[in-house]
Amino acid sequence: MYTSTFIFAAGQFDEAFHRLDEAIATAARALPGYLGEESWEDTRNRLVSNVYYWESLAALQALMQHPAHLQAKAEQARWLAGYQVVIAEVLRTYGDGQLQGRLPTAGLFSPAPDQRMPPT
């Protein structure tokens, strides 16, 4: 499993931003290999983080080549006060199981008890 995390500082959003943002989300959800998404906000620092989960890098790259994504990338300075993208491979997930059903993507993760990663 892979994640693409888009972290951005909110600028001035207009109707065009919201339409394009929804077009990207709709495109992502329609792609084979899309597994789910989560959004987080840091209101103190005016940051937003959108995390998309993907079955493969090929699925993630399909979104990166989508026309709506390419348009947003070209026009991001109109709406954002900075951004960063993090692409990561998920090696393992763990927890105590109490968040099952509370996270939009909880079904992607093992409900097994906490298992620490072995030392490297």
Q: Is 5 exposed, middle or buried (0-12, 13-18, 19+ CB in 10 A)?
A: middle
Q: Quote the pTM value.
A: 0.79
Q: Name the token pair of 12.
A: 């001035």
Closest CA to 51 of 43, 41, 61, 62: 41
- Residues 39-69: pLDDT tens digits? 999 999 989 999 999 999 999 999 999 999 9
Residues 2-89, CATH architecture: 2-Layer Sandwich (3.30)
Written as six digits, the tokens of 74 are 């070209």
**Dihedral angle of Cα 40, 43, 46, 51, to the nearest 10 degrees:** 0
